[in-house]
Structures are given as structure tokens and as C-alpha cells.
Structure 1
């Protein structure tokens, strides 16, 4: 165990990516926290809050669907660096408008559009570069470490953001957001990306895109991992709209308490990622453990429809966070082990498109039905959807392929 961890943390490229990703996530979560509060303060409308997220996701989805072939052609390192500096610059808009006392909702919407266009570049590039930096036997552990650290930053950002907004104000927080993205971009410059060995491809963009589609659809393992995660992302879309009103209206909390509530899930995810990297996960039981973790997450959603205590709500979020890494870390590793390097950008873009396409649906339903049916009913609905889909995957023999290829057993045991 100690030998494995030492080999990972002695890899300079991993250290730079690990640190850069952590700082980036801290800045991004702080920026999103500020944007949500600004829109809610300016409008007091759940619909406006939902619109902020729709404006983020719609351009993101459009670009996500078509960017895959280019991810496989361009330097993934340069894509990541470009993404970080661009995000740092775009947050200067609300910062300048705030200091000029001219900040309006449409300023935030512009930021959301640009961030939405950048995310489809950064996410598949970061997923795709990892197998070129890390030995295959360590992928599951590395993904768990990266996921856990990112979630730790997500845990720290909401309470820090709540305290900063309450005590110091939005302006200083936005300065930190811009700085964090710049630092992350500088750190990523030190990645030792292997040179791209690109063959001369005469295929058009459409032919390359369809190649990724055919490979994705032709692999039931990849397709269904994406579908199961899509159910979770639907729930995430709903909570993007209802979490803030849930804390402020249903539980009568403050912005600081909202920050603690939002920090509960990533805190649990951090500890869950550590557990996921340590537990000897045999391929025979991988399907049950992965989908069982999703079922636990569904139960936590359902329990939110009944509680009236802020500390209990935070505790439930922590439990949900602990469960999810057992699905996400192993799912990502199966993708990285299954997809050839020349297709990985295309396939990851398609995967991200599928799981992100359902988030606007969740946002729309959360904004519309949340006011019509009530926030607690929405928590119960999404919990039932996640639990039902997970239980079907665990019980039906058809889904045994989710255990992964049989010949992966030795490499998985060697990583653990």
C-alpha cells in the first residue's frame, strides 16, 4: 500500500495536476457560489436562479457534442491551460461591474455562458491526459485521489464563500476566484505531457465523431455506466435550483448555514474517495458495490423530504458524499482502461454529453415543479428515480457486464 502511494506522489506531473486541479476547483466553486447569491439577491426568483444554470448548460452541451475529435488532436495540456486562464479573465466582468456599482443579472449570465463553453474543453482533456501520465494499474487510485481532493475543495469553498460574502463582501471573493484560476494555469504548465503521435487522418470531423459514437454505443459497459450516472446528474440538476430555497425557506437558515449545507456532500465525497481507494474491490462484486452506492445516494435524497433540522440535513449530505465515489472512481477507471487512447477524447466527450444533457432537464423540472409541487416533493421524486434505476441494475442478470472485463482482475488487484 505504501509503495503504491509513494509511486503516485513521486510523479511530478501528477503532483502539478493534483495541485492545479485542487486550486481550480476551489476557485470555480467560489465563483459559482458568488454567482448564485448575486442572482438570488438581485431577483429573489428561483426561476432566475434556474435560468442562470440553463444559460451555463445549453452552450456547454452544444460544444460538448462536437469537441471530442479535436481533444484527440490537440495538446490536452494546452487545452487545460487555456481553459484556466480564460475562466480567470471572465470573472473580471462581475468584479469590475460590482466595483463600478453597475452589476446586473445579465453580467452574471455572460460569465455563465463562457464558463459553459470552457467546461467541455477542460473536463475531457483532464480525463484524457491522466492515462498518459499514470500507469494503468494506478488509475483507480489516482482517480479516487483527484476526485477526493476536488470534493475537498468543494467542501471548503461554500463555507469560506459564505463567510467571505457575509464578512467582507463579493468583490474580494471575486478577486480570489480570478487569482486561483491564474495559479492553476501556471501549475499546469509544468505537466510533462508525452508527445502526441498523431497519424495523418483523412477522415472528416463527422467521420471521426461517428467513430467515437459507434465505439461508445458498441460497448454496453461504457453506455450503461453513462446512463446510470445520468440519473444522478438529473438529481444534481434539480438540487441546483432547490438547495438554496430549501435552506432559506424550508429550514430558515442563513447564507453561512447554506454554505455548510453545500459543503456536506463534498466533505463526505472526500472521505468516500479515500475509502474507495483503499478497499479491495473484487471485479465479481464491482457492479453491486457501484450501483449500491447510487442506491444509498437515492435514499439520502428521499430522506431530505422529511427532515426539519439543519444539522441533520448536513449529515445526510455527508452520507451521500461518502457513497458516490464508489461508483464514480471505478466508472472513470473502467472508461480509461477500455477506450483506446486515439478515441478517448471522443468517447469522454460523448459520455459527458449524455450525463450533462439531463442536468438542464433537472433544472427545468426543479424550477417549474419545485414551485408547483414543493421542494420536499422534488427531493422524494429524484430519490425514487435513482433508487429504482440502481436496484434494477443490481438485480437484473443482464447488467453483469458492469463488473468489467474478466482479464482486468490481475491489474486491479495489483493496484490495490
Structure 2
């Protein structure tokens, strides 16, 4: 892809970036509100980790199936309009959910339905979002842009459970669902005005050929494969905590839903702090910085195993947020730097499939074992697993290749070229 050679302007003066920043902030805020709200409703009505796990499986299974096949189309379609379509469709679905609840008076089946449909949106939104950013900011600004986006998104994820808990208790759940729908629609509207570099396909390919190319290119990037593997262990832990966090806070520690909201908010608050730290870090060894932060993240799971104070749980989650921000932001920035933007969509989709595949595995493990071996032992299992994997990466000389990552080379992708003009 051709790039402008002039000195990059500040991100705050980049209109397209600012619109993406506002759009993703509103969209992720609405998503965090929805997740918090629906989880509480399911657990309150059933009191069962099995029901919580089933809700998340209804989201992840269709999401993973579509993630496997959608990658090639991300690079053929406008990333901007993929995002707009995803956000508006989600807004419509929450309006539909509100209507179903008002007509049927049943939360459970309506929530399972909305989880399936939103699960089908995620494979479109995530890779398109990752592939769009390098087309609107300079390569040297990618880490800064990812830090600002990640930090702002996590700040919204911090605010959402606190605000959502207040709305549920003092106003009405239906108002919260309507707010989610309106925020999703507005976030899509903002993207109409961005300028996106577009691609012309000089060689028409069958879907299966594009799919094979995406898989082949991904597995040729040894650094990306291993970073995805390391992140998969974290995502497995995320899948487990989706099921056990609510029982841990309300049953094991004896706290209320307000305090559960603070617990959920602690991780993104730490992530915001970590994103600022990440922006100013001067990295000499990506391997030590990322895998060291991963080790710290694993320790926080182990601490929750022996913890008996809800306030220590808040602090522990905040530390985990800082550690994961350092790992995730550098991981994503390296991926965007290495991969040519002309195939970034399909490779992002392949990468996300292997990463996200481990989340429902974690959900299944927690769903089947939470009531058998106990919530605390699940936290211990996750902590030991992540610490062991990160130590292997830090100690073995084999992984030193993570410090020698090369820049991308667009000339190796012959079948695409970029329009010099921008499509509004």
C-alpha cells in the first residue's frame, strides 16, 4: 500500500482518527453495558454458573464459525462500511430485544437470541476495525493510536458497569437496553464521515483461495503465531472468568451487585493506566516486556485464589489490567506493523479465530467444573497455567526471535494495489 511521505500530523488533528475514536468509544461502552446487564439478569433469575456459561456459548459458537470464513471478504469490502453495518445491526437487534421483552415478558430466551446474533457481528467488526486503523494513521503512529483507542475503550468499560448497575437499580432495565441501541446506531453514524484508503483487486480469486492465502500467510509469520498462542492462554482464562467472576464476588466474598460492578470496572481502569504507560514505554526487548507483563497477569489470578477481601480483589483486577494492556497493545501494534495492509483483514480474521477459539473452551471448562472443584481452584488453575507459559517464553532461548521482528513489505503481495485517492 502506498503511503503519504509528509510528516504525520497529530492524531488529535486527524479527523478520520477522531471519528473512529469517538465511534469505537461509544460502541464499546454500549457493548460493556449490554454484557454487564445481561449477565446479572441471567444469574439473578437462575443463580447458576451453568446458565451464565450457556449464555456465553450462545455468543461464541456462531461467532467462531463465522470468524473462520469471513476473513477473505474483509479485504474485498470497505472496512468502513463493514463497521457501520455491524454497529447499526447491533442497534437494531437491541431494539428487537426490547420489543421481545415487552411482548413476551421473558428475559431468558430473548437474551439467548440476542447473544447468537451479536456473536455473528463480532467476526465482522473486530478484524475490520484492526484493518481500518493503518489506513487512516501513519505507521509510526500505530502504537500511539492503539494506546489511545484501547485506553478510551477500557475507560468506557470501567464506567459502564457502574452506570449500568445504577440504571438497573434506580431506573429500569428497558431504558438501559434502549440506551445500548441508540449508542450503537450513533457510533455507526459517525463513521460515515471518515476517509478510508480503498483497494482495487487486480486478480479475482475464489473465496477458498483467499482463505488458504490468509492461513498460509499467517503461519509463515512465526512471531505472530507464537504471540497468538500466548494470547490464547490469556483468552482461555478470560473465558473461565466470564462464568466464575459473578459467583466469586457475590457468593464467595459475599458482596453485592454494586460491588460486583466495581470489580468488573477495576480491570479496565487498570487497562487505561496501562495504556498510558505503554504509550511512553521505550522497549528494548518486546519478549521481556510482553511476556513479563503476561507473567504478572497470571500472578493476579493466583492471588484471587487466596483472597478474602473484596477490596483486595478490586486492586488485583486493576493490576491485571495494567499488565494485560502492556501485552495486548504491543501485540496488536506488532501485528499491524508486520502484516501488509492489503491482506490485513484476512490475516486479522485468522489470528482472531485462533485467539477467540480458546475463550469458549474456558467457558466450557468453567461451566462444567465450577460447581465441582470450586471457583477458587479455577482461579489457581488459570494463574499457574499463564505463569508457566510466560516463563517458558522468557527463559527458553528459542523465543529470542520475538526481539528481531521485521517490518512488513507490501511488494510481496502482487494481486492488490491501492488507489491514490481517498474514498470519502
TM-score normalized by structure 2?
A: 0.92
Match of 1:412 in 2: none
How far apart are the structure 1 equivalents of 2:258 and 2:90?
26
- Superposed CA RMSD in Å reads 1.4
Return the offset for 1:101: 5.8
Structure 1 position 166, deviation (Å): 1.2
Corresponding residue for 2:298? 298
2:223/2:405 contact within 8 Å kept: no
> Is the Cα contact below 8 Å between 1:334 and 1:404 reproduced in 2?
no
- On the 8 A contact 2:338/2:407 being kept in 1, the answer is no
Does residue 196 of structure 1 match 2:202?
Answer: no
In the TM superposition, 1:359-374 aligns within 5 A as 359-374=359-374
Q: How far has the Cα of 1:326 moved from its partner? A: 1.3
Corresponding residue number in structure 2 for 1:413: none
Contact 1:94 1:103 in 2 (8 A): no
> After the TM superposition, which segments of 4 or more aligned residues of structure 1 sit over 4 Å from their partners?
none
The answer to whether the 8 Å contact 2:236/2:362 transfers is yes
Partner of 1:232: 234
How far is the alpha carbon of 1:171 from its aligned partner?
A: 1.0
Contact 1:370–1:378 (Cα < 8 Å) also in 2: yes
Q: Which residue among 43, 46, 49 is the counterpart of 2:49?
A: 46
Deviations along 1:365-409, whole A, 9 cap, x unmatched?
Answer: 11111111000000000011100000000111111111242669x
Question: What CA distance in whole angstroms lies between the structure 2 residues aligned with 1:384 and 1:105?
Answer: 35
Match of 1:126 in 2: 129
SS in 1 for 2:199: coil
* Per-residue deviation, residues 301-323 of structure 1 (Å, max 9, x unmatched): 00001111111100100000011
Counterpart in the other structure of 1:241: 243
Q: Shift of the alpha carbon at 1:40?
A: 1.4
85, 105, 109: which one pairs with 1:106? 109
- 2-side partners of 1:170 and 1:37: how far apart? 11
**Structure 1 residues 300-357: Cα deviation after superposition (integer angstroms, max 9, x where no partner):** 0000011111111001000000111111111111111111122111110011001110
Using the size of structure 1 for normalisation, the TM-score is 0.94
Q: Rate the CA distance shift 1:344–1:22 in 2: closer, same or farther, 3 A.
A: same
Deviates more, 1:135-144 or 1:89-98: 89-98
What's the offset of the Cα at 1:35? Answer: 1.1
Query: Is the CA contact 1:88–1:179 (under 8 Å) kept in the aligned structure 2?
Result: yes
For 1:83, which of 70, 83, 86 is the aligned residue? 86
**Residue 233 of structure 2 is aligned to residue 222 of structure 1:** no
**Separation in 1, partners of 2:387, 2:174:** 42
Q: Within 5 Å, which residues of 2 pair with 1:4-403?
A: 7-100=10-103, 102-201=105-204, 203-282=205-284, 285-403=285-403
- Spell out, residue by residue over 1:68-94, the C-alpha distance to the aligned partner (whole angstroms, 9 max, x if none): 100000000000000000001111233
Secondary structure of 1:197's partner?
strand
Deviations 1:148-180 (A, max 9, x none): 111111111011111111111211111110111
Q: State the secondary structure of the residue aligned to 1:194.
A: strand
Alignment coverage as a number of residue pairs: 402
Q: Note the alpha carbon deviations across 1:252-287, whole angstroms, 9 max, x for none.
A: 1111111000000000000100110011122xx111
Query: Structure 1 CA distance, aligned partners of 2:207 and 2:296?
Result: 41
What is the CA-CA distance between 1:135 and the residue it aligns to? 0.4
Query: For the Cα contact (< 8 Å) 1:241–1:363, is it kept in 2?
Result: yes
Give secondary structure in 2 for the equivalent of 1:405.
coil
* Alpha-carbon separation, structure 1, partners of 2:259 and 2:75: 43
Which sections of structure 2, spanning at least 5 residues, go unmatched? Answer: 1-6, 409-424
Q: 1:350 to 1:406 in 2, by over 3 A?
A: closer
**Secondary structure class of the residue paired with 2:196:** coil
1:195 match: secondary structure: strand
2:187 and 2:341 map into 1 onto residues whose CA distance is 25
